[in-house]
Amino acid sequence: MFKHIRTYKWVLIIILFIISITIIRLSWIGFLTKLDYPQTPSIKQGVLDLRGWKYSHHQTLSLNGEWEFYPSTFLSSKDQINMKQEDYLIVPDNWKKGFEEDLHYQYGTYRLRILIDNKDVDTF
């Protein structure tokens, strides 16, 4: 009988711990979503146009949208300037549709160009 009480006690402690962690995590997610801008500009064909955008250092900007994707290629900024790009992938999403073959090992480079006003260069 004493062994069953000890088992129930540990089960109760574990359940309360899981509930506490879940509450903390949901509260944190709710807090972080309040930091997002209510309406963000969209990313089209690998370009995010922030010219004329009023931004704050206390809010976050989602980078979801249509990014350029170079499958099976590692690129630096110098390489990207000279390459023509035809493939675009939605981020976040599965990148497997960016590859022609179903390879065991896949890699690639995402690219996003962000356009800003000249006066904003010093603030980043």
Tokens of 87: 């493939």
Angle 23-27-53 from CA coordinates, rounded to 5°: 160
Task: Give the containing element (helix H, strand E) for 82.
Answer: helix 77-82
pTM: 0.62
CA distance 85 to 45: 9
DSSP for residue 113: E
From first to last of its 124 residues, the chain has per-residue pLDDT tens of: 567 778 889 999 999 999 999 999 998 887 776 666 667 788 999 999 988 887 777 777 888 899 988 888 888 877 766 666 678 998 888 887 778 777 778 888 888 999 988 875 555 5
As a whole number of angstroms, the distance between CA 100 and CA 81 comes to 24
Q: What is the pLDDT of residue 80?
A: 62
**Length of the chain measured in residues:** 124
100 with 47, same domain? yes
Is 65 found in the same domain as 23?
A: no
* Token pair in block for residue 36: 């997002």
pLDDT, position 18 = 97
* 44 and 23 fall within a common domain: no
Q: Residue 106 has what pLDDT?
A: 86
d(CA 45, CA 32): 28
Q: Which domain holds residue 75?
A: 37-123
Q: Report how many domains make up the chain.
A: 2
CA distance 35 to 60: 6
**DSSP code for 60:** B
Q: Are 1 and 61 in a shared domain?
A: no
What local confidence, expressed as pLDDT, does residue 25 receive?
Answer: 93
